[in-house]
Chains A and B, each alone.
Chain A
Amino acid sequence: MGKTFAEKILGRKAGRPVTAGEIVEVVPDYAMSHDNTAAIAKTFASIGVERLYDPELHVIILDHASPPPNEKFAENHREVREFVKKHGIRNFFDVHRGVCHQVMLEEGFALPGLLIVGSDSHSTTYGAVGAFGTGIGRSEMAVIMATGRIWLRVPETIRVLFRGVPPMGVYPKDLMLYAIGKIGAEGANYMAVEFAGEAVANMDMAGRIVLANMAVEMGAKTGYVEPDEVTLAYVRPRARREFEVVRSDPDAPFAQVHELEVRDLEPQVACPHSVDNVKPVSEVAGTRVDQVFFGSCTNARLEDFAVVARILRGKKIHPDVRMLVVPASQQVYLDALRAGYLEILAEAGAVILNANCGPCMGSHQGIPARGEVSLSTSNRNFKGRQGNREAEIYLCSPATAAASAIRGVITDPREFL
């Protein structure tokens, strides 16, 4: 019987063949942390080990509240910088660089076949280039600092096959929301999800990143897209080390296969307060929107800016709507600037913010007021997610976000394409 990509990558790290269900102890290829490194550093200190097991393992990116909105956050960042200096961590990116997962990809840390853990649940994102990326807790990261090691259960793998090519105006985010709605917020708990099919083969990197990023929203330990020429064209020029493409064998034992037909799919919207409360846009069109957030590690890459700029060109954002725009990284910011997209968005009335996590998790920049409706391209719509439990959060594609910002109500973006 063949092996899945997850069994192969974890087996390589464990130094022996492994199968789903086993628990292995491994040293990851990279361990990513962000603003939470200050708290991790304290837990590391409590272990009683003086030096890091390997400073080269760690990648630290300040992004969650960057620049800091108040003194407490500022002190937090200071502690991270001191820790980085004290331990000689070279892979450090300060507040100017962008959202950690995007930076991990852009900077060539996330590569096919690698095992990457991150103290952030959306570390599944690295599967977009065929890595095994997974989220871990702060204590676990502290122990990796001390010993290099972590325990992981080798997951079973679910295959999600997107059949057909989606129609115009339907984007990878819509496909992913649709899949989460079908499979459920717990449907892939403890498992790896491998995305495949014609729609995925035709997707650019930005689209594949959406799939891997949101795999955790169906409970998955990791998401994965098999590397192909699109992947290699992306990773080759930026790779920081040698890598080897790892693929599931054709006879690999998949725990489940979900075939989803997307030929006639409508744009999709996740409604409050659960990511799997997904409806076609026609069912929620007309819902009032107070704030539109185009950003986060899920979307807001250059490809998304191109779509949003196309919809907003020469238009004005509805006077009752605030549109917040947060590029996924400084690189995306620069590219969008040079392409003229930022000018189009600013002229339409959008607020362009710096590349960081911003409104996504409600620590600063654009917290909705009580009773307000926030339409977001991010990955979570839990109650309180954007900092106010009395607000309603809907999730959608960047195109749906842009169209809705113009109308002031949730709008099918195909009216503008």
Chain B
Amino acid sequence: MGIIRGRVWKYGDNVNTDVIFPGKYTYTVTDPKEMASHALEDLDPQFAGQVQPGDLVVAGRNFGCGSSREQAAFCLKYAGVGAVVAKSFSRLYFRNAINAGLPVIQAPDAVEAMEAGEIVEVDLERGELRCRAGCFSFPPLPKEVLGIFEAGGLIPYTRKRLGLPPLPPDSGLPIGEGG
């Protein structure tokens, strides 16, 4: 877990799974690159073409509400998003993000303070977010699920638990083709 540095893409409350990854693609889009190209398509058509590695998706309350479709977490990860910072997360999204190894940070004050387009820095280990307005701390993940996140997601974590070797980094997995 290191330092994430990137630009802020700011959105409002109740950003739902349908606008993050439209339902019409859920059974047909399986390639990670193609999945990334549809990220946030129905909310911000500019996003997928312009997002840079490390950039932060910043949003209000209840981020990821709606479907259980975990591509809504994986498409942001594949798009290179460093972390999602929100005032709160929907339960299924929070789970899916941890299982995808996508950092999800609940920090309502920081969300208020950050402005679209500014460059911010997140230190996952220390639980700190530094932006123009100052430094904000956020709580660590529950210890029971920290291991999953640290392993890079649920699949690598499960392989480790089962005593299986890690997957090669170029396998296109652990995330699972098709998410």
CB-CB under 8 A from B17, the residues of chain A are: 382
Given A382-B66, A383-B19, A65–B100 Cβ distance below 8 Å? no
CB-CB under 8 A from A120, the residues of chain B are: 67-68
* Partner of A143 from B19, B42, B68, B158 at Cβ < 8 Å: B158
> Is A140 a contact partner of B154 (Cβ separation < 8 A)?
yes
Main secondary structure of the interface of B (DSSP, over half): loop
Given A42-B178, A363-B27, A143–B14 Cβ distance below 8 Å? no
CB-CB under 8 A from B49, the residues of chain A are: none
A residues 310-362 touching B (CB-CB < 8 Å):
361-362
B residues 154-176 touching A (CB-CB < 8 Å):
154-155, 158-159, 161-162, 164, 167, 171, 173-176
Given A47-B158, A139-B176, A73–B28 Cβ distance below 8 Å? yes
> Is B92 a contact partner of A137 (Cβ separation < 8 A)?
yes
> Is B42 a contact partner of A384 (Cβ separation < 8 A)?
yes
Residue of A nearest to B154 (CB): A139
- The answer to the question of A76 belonging to the interface, with a C-beta cut-off of 8 Å to chain B, is yes
Given A363-B27, A384-B42, A389-B42, A137–B68 Cβ distance below 8 Å? yes
Give, as a whole number of angstroms, the nearest-CB distance from B177 to chain A.
5
- In the assembled complex, the Cα of A270 lies from the Cα of B22 at a distance in Å of 20
- The answer to the question of A91 belonging to the interface, with a C-beta cut-off of 8 Å to chain B, is no
* Partner of A151 from B144, B153, B174, B176 at Cβ < 8 Å: B144
CB-CB under 8 A from A35, the residues of chain B are: 27
> Is A363 a contact partner of B23 (Cβ separation < 8 A)?
yes
> Is B155 a contact partner of A43 (Cβ separation < 8 A)?
yes
> Is A73 a contact partner of B27 (Cβ separation < 8 A)?
yes
- The answer to the question of B65 belonging to the interface, with a C-beta cut-off of 8 Å to chain A, is yes
- In the assembled complex, the Cα of A262 lies from the Cα of B164 at a distance in Å of 56
Classify chain A's interface size. Answer: 35 or more
Given A39-B179, A46-B173, A140-B99, A76–B28 Cβ distance below 8 Å? yes
- The answer to the question of B70 belonging to the interface, with a C-beta cut-off of 8 Å to chain A, is yes
Give, as a whole number of angstroms, the nearest-CB distance from A259 to chain B.
24
CB-CB under 8 A from A73, the residues of chain B are: 27-28
CB-CB under 8 A from A72, the residues of chain B are: 27-28
A residues 149-196 touching B (CB-CB < 8 Å):
151, 153, 185-186, 189-190
Which residues of B come within 8 Å of A, CB atoms? 14, 16-19, 22-24, 26-28, 30, 42-43, 61-62, 65-70, 73, 88, 90-92, 95-96, 99-100, 142, 144-145, 153-155, 158-159, 161-162, 164, 167, 171, 173-179
The 9 nearest A-B residue pairs measured at CB: A43-B176, A39-B178, A137-B70, A361-B23, A384-B42, A186-B62, A135-B68, A382-B18, A72-B28
> Is B162 a contact partner of A147 (Cβ separation < 8 A)?
yes
* Partner of A387 from B24, B95, B99 at Cβ < 8 Å: B24
- The answer to the question of A138 belonging to the interface, with a C-beta cut-off of 8 Å to chain B, is yes
What would 14 more interface pairs be, CB under 8 Å, given A380-B16, A387-B22?
A: A23-B145, A38-B178, A39-B177, A42-B178, A64-B26, A121-B68, A136-B68, A138-B176, A138-B178, A140-B95, A186-B61, A219-B90, A219-B91, A362-B24
- In the assembled complex, the Cα of A64 lies from the Cα of B100 at a distance in Å of 24
CB-CB under 8 A from A274, the residues of chain B are: 14
- In the assembled complex, the Cα of A135 lies from the Cα of B70 at a distance in Å of 11
* Partner of A185 from B26, B65, B158, B164 at Cβ < 8 Å: B65
- In the assembled complex, the Cα of A65 lies from the Cα of B23 at a distance in Å of 11
Most chain A CB within 10 A, of B14, B23, B43, B164, is at B23
Give, as a whole number of angstroms, the nearest-CB distance from A395 to chain B.
13
CB-CB under 8 A from B88, the residues of chain A are: 186, 189
**What does the 1/0 interface line of A104-146 toward B look like (CB < 8 Å)?**
0000000000000011110100000000000111111011001
A-B contact pairs, 14 of them (CB 8 A): A23-B144, A35-B27, A36-B26, A39-B27, A39-B30, A47-B158, A139-B100, A143-B158, A147-B158, A147-B161, A190-B91, A274-B14, A361-B24, A384-B22
- The answer to the question of A48 belonging to the interface, with a C-beta cut-off of 8 Å to chain B, is yes
Given A147-B158, A384-B18, A137–B66 Cβ distance below 8 Å? no
Give, as a whole number of angstroms, the nearest-CB distance from B166 to chain A.
11
Give, as a whole number of angstroms, the nearest-CB distance from B69 to chain A.
8
- In the assembled complex, the Cα of A406 lies from the Cα of B21 at a distance in Å of 35
Residue of A nearest to B91 (CB): A190
- The answer to the question of A3 belonging to the interface, with a C-beta cut-off of 8 Å to chain B, is no
* Partner of B70 from A76, A123, A138, A383 at Cβ < 8 Å: A138
Residue of A nearest to B93 (CB): A137
Most chain B CB within 10 A, of A35, A42, A137, is at A137
> Is B145 a contact partner of A121 (Cβ separation < 8 A)?
no
- The answer to the question of A221 belonging to the interface, with a C-beta cut-off of 8 Å to chain B, is yes
> Is B28 a contact partner of A219 (Cβ separation < 8 A)?
no
Given A47-B155, A142-B155, A385-B18, A189–B91 Cβ distance below 8 Å? yes
Give, as a whole number of angstroms, the nearest-CB distance from B27 to chain A.
5
CB-CB under 8 A from B18, the residues of chain A are: 361, 380, 382-385
> Is A143 a contact partner of B154 (Cβ separation < 8 A)?
yes
Give, as a whole number of angstroms, the nearest-CB distance from B58 to chain A.
17
CB-CB under 8 A from B27, the residues of chain A are: 35-36, 38-39, 64-65, 72-73, 76, 363
